[in-house]
Structure 1
Amino acid sequence: MKTILASLNAKYIHTNLAIRYLKAAAADDYEIELAEYTINDPVLNIVGDLYAKKPDVIGFSCYIWNIEETIQVIKMLKKIHPEVKIILGGPEVTYDVNDWLERLHENIDFVAVGEGEATFKGLLDYFAGKIDFKQVRGAACMIDGSMHLIPQPQKTDLKTLPSPFRFPEDRADLKKRITYIETSRGCPFQCQFCLSSIEVGVRYFDREAVKNDIRYLMQHGARIFKFVDRTFNISRSYAMEMFEFLIDEHLPGTVFQFEITGDIMRPEVIQYLNDHAPAGLFRFEIGVQSTNDHTNELVKRKQNFDKLKRTVTMVKDGGKIDQHLDLIAGLPEENYHSFKQTFNDVYELGPEELQLGFLKMLRGTGLRMNAAAHQYIYMDHAPYEILGNNQLSFDEILRIKQVEDVLEKYWNDHRLDETIAYLTEEVFDTPFDFYQDFGTYWDEKGWSRIGHQLEDLFKRLYQFIEENQPESLPYVSYLMKKDYLAKHRFKPRKAWWTKGDKRFSDVYDHLLSNPALAGKKFMSLSLNQKELHKHTVLEEGLKLVDHKPVKMYLLAYYDPKTGDASIFEFSKEEAESVSI
């Protein structure tokens, strides 16, 4: 019986943990091949590859991001290979099972409902003639036009599951891909927009087994780990034990990312991480979603924003851990102006990354079941994103999407940090106002429909400021040049701005005769004339110093060995007062 477990991942660097658990659960009795593709692969290519393997059984792992592409694949497969048994599993098909079976009964044979390890193994035993179908728990199918399902009697004992990480065929790609780790299942919270709210309680895997898996994965090249636990720090003792283990035994270049609940993070835990964790080892993802208390109450989300701010601020002050904060636009009773406040509240915390997402009405969630109470309208197909409700019109959703577009390009990519900080703090009334005005301008220019290179990001921002905030343009222009030069690896061959004919030879002469002009660090470089001209870029501009305009020189030096940039600033007045 040739059996394949398949998944269409969002990106090549992603791996599917679920199909590996299923394979591990059945590996003692059945030989199973894993087949991973991406949602961007042509459907015919996927079908052709699967067909060439001549499978008897194919199981597909289904999520909101891949279900529509997966359906195309299975429909085509059944046309050319009608004998193959098709099993769907995963969170997207676990809920509204009857709807999926009615919709796809000609193209699929079974749906594995809920945790799939025992169900998948049971189906293989059934196909092999070892057991009767009535003995398969958690498998749904259509019999005489009606759904047939024998529920699973209890949740899986996670400590009994074999490791999904020890397959020899996975070793070659560990360096190239993200490794997903699961140390617990379930969530203690009841947020009504989240599937995790449906399962009551939290269950843990064996701690030592998890540690051994991480050791094995690191030894074989894995360097990027993402923990998929819904709330990694729900148990302080467990989180501390894992943090200590990862600090003590990590290998160079390793990064571990966790989903953290910010307002329950204890200060002593953060202080321990600030004191002992190497910079860059950990990355925290914190779901804020909304700072509107009434909205949080309506979705049964308990959140103390003051404590969350304390956590984010302590972590940021420690300078060791990057933070990714999430927002959701479209939650109940959060209108455009309330969401603007939420955005500004969270942006003020200065996370390294701020993700602005839009509410998705996931199958099985309380919010979807009570959608009429807030007059939600949403997409019929995955990802079921909202199109409006009683507080947020479709026009306003489109406006917030404009904010999302430029936020991703200009803040999360960190190309213009000093420039954006100045614009959001000094030029525009609030950060949201800057991103909204610029996002609307970007969309009206049609830039959202065409590609861009790095220089385009600078040119388009300059054009926007030139037309909308011309009085700040001289200072913005200077900061943009500084950001551009500082973020380059190696001396840039071209600039986004129009360079004049000025050669600055007199300024270079001043620097050679008195390098202290640019500060002690520059003086320590001890550059000769050839090195100065070959490895630096010199520009001039107007900078605000204590809210007063000062004419400045901006010097970028690029280390010829590393390419790293060092930025030096000194006033034009000081330079011109130096005798050569």
Structure 2
Amino acid sequence: MKVVVSSLNAKYIHTCLALRYLKSFCGDEFEVDMAEYTIKDPVMNIVSDLFRRNPDVIGFSCYIWNIEETIRVVSMLKKIKPELQIVLGGPEVSYDTDYWMKRIPEVDFIVMGEGEETFLHLLRELSGARKYHFVFGAAYRNGTGDVCINPGRPKLALDDIPSPHRFAEDVPALPNRVVYFETSRGCPFSCQFCLSSIEVGVRYFDMERTKADLLYLIESGAKLIKFVDRTFNIKREYAMEIFRFLIDNHRGCVFQFEITADIMRPEVLDYLAEHAPAGVFRFEIGVQSTNDATNELVKRRQNFAKLTRTVTKVKESGKIDQHLDLIAGLPEEDYDSFRKTFNDVFALGPEELQLGFLKMLRGTGLRHDADKYGYVYMDTSPYEILGNAIMPFSDLMRIKRVEDVLEKYWNAHRMDRTVRYLIGRQFRSAFDFFQEFGDYWEERGWQKIGHQLEDLFERLNAFLVYRGTADRDVAEGLMKLDYFMNHKYKPRKIWWDFTLDKTEQASYMHMLANRPDRVSSGFAALRLSEKELHKHAVVETIPFDLPRYEEDGTVDRSRSTLLAVVYEPDGAGPRYFTLELESTILYPQQ
């Protein structure tokens, strides 16, 4: 019997860990192939590839991001190969299983919850006596077509599952794909919007096995490993041992963890600050809300003061990037409350702030209590809310505009200097900047069209002009620097009119080539000729003392600044240098 396990990933770089667990657990008894696609792939292409493999059984791993696309694939497969046995599994179909069996008549079986042992048992029955009522954790159709749902299966001892990371077919793609890895299953918390709250307790894989798998992946060329543990740091000793191991063996691989920041122990933070190599670790921290009443209603225990301590200490170390998550639409969080939550978290200065919207996932307590809070939400995945008693759809749409420009202007880090200046000096708060700009953006229909890098700068500049922003020359000067620093090579076009004409630029280039010591010893050490400067550098004047502004935030217009940006010929990136000039001097005399 030939078996294929398949999934439609959100992006090509993603991989499905579930398929690898199923293959590793069942591979000794059955021929199991893995077939991964993306939700953007044409359905016909997916169906054609699966048909070519000529399987007897296909199992699909289902999530909120792929269920609707998977249903289309399943429907088409059953039409062209009616005898094919189709099995669904994964978190999206593990709850409301009767609904899924009735909605998708082409599906023969559903595996509920952890699937390794149940799927193997099901394959044995499919190839043997076909006594499906013995397969705990599975749903099936009996001889009359009625849906039968068997009792659940006891949890499997994790170390009984062979490693999912040792398949030779995966090795060539490791440097270019995200590798998902788990050291534990389960979550100790009970957040009512999360599926992890349903599983009681936390189980861990053996430490030596975990280290061996990680070392194998690192040595095989993995560049990014994402740990899918719901709370990686819940067991301090376990987390610390893995941190130490990765620090000693990382070889340039990057590791991302989901952590609960308010339980992070000071000694762990001190160790990471001292020993973690810069850029090797990333932390994802689910803040969700800073409203205490909201957190209490969703059974989310969180000490924001301790969370702030952790995030601040990690940021001060300069070693670890932090990705903080928010959820708009939680109970008792109206627009003004969410504005406060956003500003509370943005003030922590995360490298990335992810603004998400509440999804009423099947099986969660919040979906069960939806009527209590007046929730209305999408009937199909991703089950995103459309409003509740205190957060109408109109407010959600306003926050959507915040999300749009937040992604483009903060999370993408295209103009950090400019955004920090505007938020700190020209707007009441970070949220107000993103909201006002987001409203302006949508009024002009820009959300419907694409954009190049220069478009983003032009649109921000147009917004600042439109609202009559004070000290716009300062913002524009910072935007020029941000723009230059966003290129690996000397930009061919700019979004503003150069302050300097060609003669003035040539004059400054001549001065920089012949008197590099006037700039700095670092610039002089580059030993750039005038010809090289013309080819690999750009100069522009900034109408204030840029070095002083960067040092203490003072805007001093008594001196202007010559900005010289030098681009490495090999595309390694730009370096910028400054030379303070008297504001009355436009360019040096010949």
TM band (smaller chain): over 0.9
How far apart, CA to CA, are the structure 2 residues paired with 1:470 and 1:166?
Answer: 58
Structure 1 position 36 matched with structure 2 position 45? no
Cα distance, 1:575 vs structure 2: 9.4
Question: Match of 2:20, as an amino acid?
Answer: R
Is structure 2 residue 204 aligned with structure 1 residue 195? no
Q: Name the residue aligned to 1:529.
A: 530
Deviation at 1:210, TM superposition (A): 1.2
**CA–CA distance in 2 between the matches of 1:437 and 1:153?**
52
Residue 477 (str. 1) matches residue 486 (str. 2): no
Match of 2:556?
A: 548
Structure 2-normalised TM-score?
0.95
Query: 1:28, 1:131 → 2: CA distance?
Result: 20
Instruction: Judge which range, 92-101 or 506-515, deviates more.
Output: 506-515
Partner of 2:578: 569
More divergent stretch after superposition (532-541 vs 349-358): 532-541
User: 1:310 Cα deviation (Å)?
Assistant: 0.6
Asked if the contact 2:180–2:225 (Cα under 8 Å) also holds between the matched residues in 1, the reply is: yes
2:248 is matched with 248
For residues 53-452 of structure 1, the aligned pairs below 5 Å read 53-104=53-104, 106-129=105-128, 132-143=131-142, 144=144, 146-251=146-251, 253-452=252-451
* 2:559 is the counterpart of 1:560: no
Contact 1:257–1:283 (CA under 8 A) maintained in structure 2:
yes
Q: Write the deviation string for residues 196-220 of structure 1: whole angstroms up to 9, x where unpaired.
A: 0000110011111111111111222
Q: Is residue 283–residue 322 contact of structure 1 (8 Å, CA) maintained in 2?
A: yes
Amino acid at match of 2:203: R
**Aligned-pair distance for 1:509?**
4.2
For residues 3-29 of structure 1, what are the alpha-carbon distances to aligned partners after superposition, in whole Å with 9 as ceiling and x for unaligned? 100100001111000011111111111
Look up the SS of the partner of 2:283 in the other structure: strand
The whole-number CA distance in structure 2 between the counterparts of 1:579 and 1:460 is 36
* Change over 3 Å in CA distance of 1:347–1:192 after alignment to 2: same
**How far is the alpha carbon of 1:513 from its aligned partner?**
5.0
Instruction: Determine helix, strand or coil for the equivalent of 2:106.
Output: coil
Aligned partner of 1:552: which letter?
T
Q: Which moved more, 1:126-135 or 1:458-467?
A: 126-135
Does 1:507 pair with 2:515?
A: no
Q: Do the aligned partners of 1:517 and 1:575 also contact (CA within 8 Å) in 2?
A: no
C-alpha deviations, 1:280-306, integer Å up to 9, x for none? Answer: 111100000000000000000000001
Shift of 1:131: 6.2
Separation in 2 of the partners of 1:422 and 1:457? 17
Give CA deviations for 1:145-186 in whole Å, capped at 9, x if unaligned. 543222234111101111111122112211211110011000
Gaps in structure 1 of 5+ consecutive residues: none
In 2: Cα distance, 1:128 partner to 1:510 partner? 82
Question: Quick one: structure 1 residues 563 and 133, their matched pair in 2 at CA, closer, same or farther if it must change by over 3 Å?
Answer: closer
Alignment root-mean-square deviation, CA = 1.7
- Alpha-carbon deviation of 1:570? 2.6
Using the size of structure 1 for normalisation, the TM-score is: 0.97
CA distance in 2, matches of 1:108, 1:231: 34
Distance across 1 between alignment mates of 2:366 and 2:345: 24
Secondary structure of residue in 2 paired with 1:152: coil
Asked whether the equivalents of residues 514 and 578 of structure 1 are also in contact (C-alpha less than 8 Å), the reply is no
Q: Is the 8 A contact 2:158 2:203 kept in 1?
A: yes
- Equivalents in 1 of 2:167, 2:244: separation in Å? 27
Q: Distance in 1 between matches of 2:562 and 2:65?
A: 49
Instruction: Return the alpha-carbon distance in structure 2 between the equivalents of residues 405 and 562 of structure 1.
Output: 30
Specify the code of the residue in structure 2 equivalent to 1:531: E
Deviation at 1:512, TM superposition (A): 4.3
CA contact (8 A) 2:118 2:153 kept: no
Structure 1 Cα separation of the partners of residues 113 and 443 of structure 2: 45
8 A contact 1:517–1:574 mirrored in 2: no
Q: CA deviation at 1:432?
A: 0.4
Give the equivalent residue in structure 1 for 2:15: 15
- Greater mean deviation of Cα atoms: 534-543 or 254-263: 534-543
What is the CA-CA distance between 1:525 and the residue it aligns to?
2.6
Conserved in 1, the CA contact under 8 Å of 2:352 and 2:410? yes
Deviation at 1:535, TM superposition (A): 2.2
Single out whichever of 562-571 and 200-209 deviates more from structure 2. Answer: 562-571
Matched residue SS, 2:362: coil
- Paired letter, 2:490: K
1:547 maps to amino acid = V
- Long gaps (5+) in structure 2: none
Give the aligned length: 578
Please give the per-residue CA displacement for 1:326-370, whole angstroms capped at 9, x wherever unaligned.
Answer: 000000010001000000000011111110000000000000000
Instruction: Please tell me whether the aligned partners of residues 560 and 583 of structure 2 are also in contact (alpha carbons under 8 angstroms).
Output: no
Instruction: Give the C-alpha shift of residue 511 in structure 1.
Output: 3.4
CA distance in 1, matches of 2:43, 2:230: 32
Structure 2: distance between partners of 1:511 and 1:25:
66
Percent pairwise identity: 57
Q: 1:82-136 CA deviation, whole Å, 9 max, x = no partner?
A: 11000000000000011111211x2100110111001100111001115632321
What is aligned with 2:49? 49
Indicate if the aligned counterparts of 2:94 and 2:112 stay in contact, CA closer than 8 A.
yes
Check whether the contact 2:2–2:57 (CA below 8 A) recurs between aligned residues.
yes
> In structure 2, how many angstroms separate the alpha carbons of the residues matched to 1:134 and 1:97?
16
Alpha-carbon distance between aligned partners in 2 of 1:265 and 1:451, rounded to the nearest angstrom: 41
Residue 90 of structure 1 aligns to which amino acid in structure 2? Answer: G
Give the letter for the 1:496 counterpart.
W
> Could you tell me whether the CA contact under 8 Å between 1:491 and 1:563 is conserved in 2?
no
Post-superposition offset of 1:555: 1.2
Deviation at 1:49, TM superposition (A): 1.1
What's the CA shift for 1:484? 0.9
Distance 1:388 1:142 in 2: 37
SS at match of 2:77: helix
